[in-house]
Amino acid sequence: MYTIAIHGGSGTISRSEITPEQEKEYRQGLENALDAGYAVLARGGSALDAVEQAVRSLEDFEKFNAGRGSVFSANGRHEMDASIMCGQTLKAGAVAGVTNIRNPITLARTVMERSENVFLLSPGAEEFAREQGLAVEPDDYFYTDYRFRQLKEAQEANRTQLDHSRSNTGKGTVGAVALDEKGNLAAATSTGGLTNKKYGRVGDTPVIGGGTYANNQTCAVSCTGYGEFFIRAVVAYDISCLMEYKGLSLQEACDWVVQHKLKDMGGEGGLIAVDRAGNVALPFNSEGMYRGWRNAAGEGEVAIFA
């Protein structure tokens, strides 16, 4: 028994604005990531390897706000965050504000496995990446005309904004959760953050318990939404707690947090989660969320809107 779920952010292009060509591109990016992670699980690989490979695929796909194609910060750079967590050991790794790192999720895993730390900030995280021989890329690798236009629009309006829509405020993230055939869970999340973000802003993506959490006793969770709310609500960990301490099912815990607790605070977004029995939940309270899942029986779907 194994299962994987992925997301490409809850800040989707509006249904009224997306073209058939764009929808096809996003769906293909999601399918590619699902294939990458699922292949690991199908050959008996670990949940940790599966979520890393799925997120790497999403980071390499320039349409999503992570890795290549990340949004621009106010300083004209791509400042990226990522985290990963192993449900078997409860070990985790995270990085924030890194630039020029080809795959921030791999750097986060390297922090977890090759350092005594959990969370590294730029520029120290970049120094660590170079010492570990991780792939780096020039600024041009991360650049897209679409993201640059978004930066100019945001600067002209003096606001931060979502990577896809002028009307939204920032929910572009990618992530993956998985259960492997040995019963181990893992979660991984990566983002370029908000367009035109200032002052070294960091959202929930690299915050263990906020945007990412995994525990073999309960579930694995990867979040996407307005990070400040997800941090304040400790969303990922809260779902695990509701399952562990109150006995809620995965779906019940996810629905309560996303549709009630988070919404009542004014937070918008969603998450993906899988529990130790292989059940999947993909709740969101926004117009849509790029998402997909697949299990050992071949069941699954790829979707964007509700």
**Beta strands 219-225; 280-281: pairing state:** unpaired
Tokens 């979040």 sit on residue: 223
- ∠ CA 61-293-268, nearest 5°, is 75
DSSP per residue, 53-97 = HHHHHHHHSTTSSSSTTPPPPTTSS--EEEEEEETTT--EEEEEE
Residue 182, helix vs strand vs coil:
coil
**Could you say which of 3, 106, 110, 173 is catalytic?**
173
173 is catalytic: yes
Structure tokens at 48: 């940790």
DSSP per residue, 268-299 = -EEEEEEETT--EE--BSSSEEEEEEEETTS-
Catalytic positions: 173
